[in-house]
A and B are shown apart, each in its own frame.
Chain A
Amino acid sequence: MSSHSETELRRWIQEVAATSEPIELEDVLDWPPVDSDPSSSTDVTNLVPLELAEPARERPMNSKRAAIILAAAAAVIAVVGFAFALTSVDNWERRRGRG
């Protein structure tokens, strides 16, 4: 069944293709002026077929987002820690001055 169907598909394509007559060079050379510009095409089938497109996935967290959040958190911790350290040193020096 498998090889039979494969052969049937191939034969069928070949038979359909055989109904297309070759184009003569002389006809092409004598063709009236053609105004074709592929870039101006209203090309509706050049879109990526839906079946081939990767389905869009909603990811709660990817590695890039996680890295950005971690970096931001580290920066905030560093700033708070630095401020706390400054405050502590200041307080310690004040207390030392009083003493």
Chain B
Amino acid sequence: MRALVVVSADAKEEFAAFFEAAERRLRLALTGAFGVETGRDATAEALAWAWQNWGEVREMTNPVGYIYRVGRTNALRGLDRDLASATTTIEAHPSDWELPNYEPNLAKFLARLPERQRVAVWMVHGLGFSHREVAELLECSRPTVATHVRRGLRKLRHRLGVDYE
């Protein structure tokens, strides 16, 4: 019984360290993919799932990438099924992202990018995450992330008629 308590305490400590390292990155990436509210809710639920399945998650080679996928699943499950055939919530409601004093089309055009390009531009160009950090989340290679960023920025530049590179 005592051993069980010790293991449980270790697990909690381990998970707390994982949470500390991963929460911000997961939450911001899912925000970039699905919008502020949906992204946050999906992240919280995905991290709760990670804790409830910590025995398996801690053995994974890329737990952050897996939890990101869990978060995506949560977000997609929460979608209005009428929209689910082609869009995510932020694609359907880009106005959620609009801020005063900014070019109003930024939200619309960023929301129109394919999800992975949007997340890559959001995380790398906007928030300064490294290609490696985003590659882990998206479970792809660093050059692929670089390609997503480049193509996403090129499209934004083209649509807005400005140079973002």
List A residues at the B interface (Cβ < 8 Å): 1-2, 5-6, 8-17, 19-23, 25, 27-29, 31, 33-34, 36-38, 40-46, 49-52
Contact = CB atoms under 8 A, between A and B. Distances in A.
Given A20-B31, A28-B51, A33-B52, A5 B97 contact: no
Please give me the 5 A-B residue pairs with the lowest Cβ-Cβ distance, nearest first.
A13-B126, A49-B114, A31-B48, A2-B163, A41-B73
Contact of B40 (A8, A21, A36, A50): A21
Interface of B: 12, 15-16, 19-20, 23-24, 27-28, 31-32, 36, 39-40, 43-49, 51-52, 66, 69-70, 72-74, 76-77, 84-86, 88, 97, 99, 102-103, 106, 114-117, 122, 125-127, 151, 155-156, 160, 162-165
Given A13-B127, A20-B28, A31-B45, A43 B72 contact: yes
Nearest to A4: B162
A7 to B, nearest CB: 10
Given A36-B49, A51-B114, A1 B127 contact: no
A9 B103 CA distance: 9
Contact of B48 (A17, A22, A28, A37): A28
B125 A20 contact: no
B99 to A, nearest CB: 6
A36 B126 contact: no
